[in-house]
Amino acid sequence: MTTRGVSTSTRSSRATRSPEVRRVDFGRRVVVVRRGWVAMRFEWRSVIVCTAVAVAVVVMSVLALTTGSYQISVSQVVSALTGGETGLVHDIVVEWRLPRIAAALVFGSALGVSGAIFQSMLRNPLADPGIIGFSQGSYTGALIVILVVNGSYLQLVGGAVLGGMATAVLVYVLAYRRGVQGFRLIIVGIGVSAMLGSLNTWLMLKASLEQAMAAAAWGAGSLNGVSWDQVAIGGTVIGALLLPAGILSGPMRQMELGDDAAASLGVRVAATRLALVVVGVALTATVTAASGPIAFISLVAPQIARRLARTAGITLVPAAFVGALLCLTADYIAQHIAPTPLPVGIVTVVLGGGYLGWLLFTEARRRL
């Protein structure tokens, strides 16, 4: 498996070779590290971008841990993380702020990867799980669990995943005409998303006032009240989904050349596209179940990562890093910049809506 970011592939070499540096297309400097049957390929620009984003994530994490209605110094944060602080400081750092930061990083990474999968697979920068209806389907499944079943968190996860998968199947079937074209799938997804939005509104109107208010607050996309249990469950599911995403990244990049070209290279196009849809929807549904639909992260992160890394196509690892940083930054803005704390989804809608308008404007100018 090979990507232009960070990837692995199997090799038939019996001996362990030392790392080698060689030139690839467009003069990009790449390090290929081989260990027996496994080879890892690192493009230097992607590595530098991921490192810079990781440093920014650390800075934002420290800022989020120290800032709030109760100010905490960096030394107190370090002491609380190492077990030196007890009482109120320990509870604020370890039990309240740190789970929220971990959730933002894990969920933002998942949304970045999900967006990268759909944008690469459909070869369209507007291909976003939220726009083509998959996030709305996950929201519908979760709403049914909340308002009708009144189920537990695990049932909420199951409802969101089933709702997202059912929506994906419906969109895929309606868009299928001797194959699935990216533009047709996006148009069908927008229509299905609108219908599901009407269904969600009807469910809210039929619910009691308390249920409707709780569901509306959760539906805005919020990390308020996220616990370590939710982070652990969501992180485990997301971690399990990232493995097949990495395995499919090679065929995914080949499919960017077109279905015929990918098939000539030995890619099973239909099966690979179906597997990518399942992984992408499952990532979005897991985040939706834990925090509600956090809009536009999956739309914006892959494109920002592509422009920073200057890769020929969408790559998963930079998109995951950028998604984590965007989600963490948006949550910090939602908590501290606004006069009153806001759900993170409101901030991402504002920022993402501006980005979408800019993207549409630049695409229209480019085609004139």
Overall average pLDDT of the 63-87 stretch: 87
- Residue 294, Ramachandran bin (φ over 0: left; ψ between -120 and 50: alpha; else beta): beta
pLDDT by residue (tens digit) across 104-132? Answer: 999 999 999 999 999 988 888 878 887 78
* pLDDT tens digits, 10-43: 333 334 444 444 444 444 566 665 555 555 566 7
Give the span between the Cα atoms of 136 and 3, in whole angstroms. Answer: 31
pTM, two decimals, is 0.84
Which residue reads 């939005």 in tokens? 197
pLDDT in tens, 213-251: 878 877 888 888 788 988 998 899 999 999 999 888 888
In degrees rounded to 5, what are phi and psi of residue 208?
-70, 165
Count of CA atoms in the C-beta half-sphere (13 A) of 181? 5
Supply the pLDDT for residue 212: 83
pLDDT for 109 equals 96
CATH number of 6-367: 1.10.3470.10
Q: How confident is the model at residue 153 (pLDDT cuts 50, 70, 90)?
A: confident
The C-alpha atoms of residue 11 and residue 9 are separated, in whole angstroms, by 7
CA atoms within a 13 Å half-sphere pointing along the CA-CB vector of 141 = 31
Work out the end-to-end distance of the chain between its first and last CA atoms, rounded to an integer number of angstroms. 38
The residue extents of the domains of the chain are: 6-367
DSSP 208-247: -HHHHHHHHHHHT---TT--HHHHHHHHHHHHHHHHHHHH
Q: Assess contact for 65 and 93: CB atoms under 8 A.
A: yes
List CB contacts of 121: < 8 A, sequence separation 6 or more: 127, 182, 252, 255, 273, 276, 277, 280
Q: Which residues contact 89 (CB under 8 A, 6 or more apart)?
A: 72, 76, 79, 80
Q: Where does the pLDDT of residue 279 fall: very low under 50, low under 70, confident under 90, or very high at 90 and above?
A: very high
Q: Tokens 């070209």, residue? A: 261
- Nearest by Cα to 153 from 86, 82, 227: 227
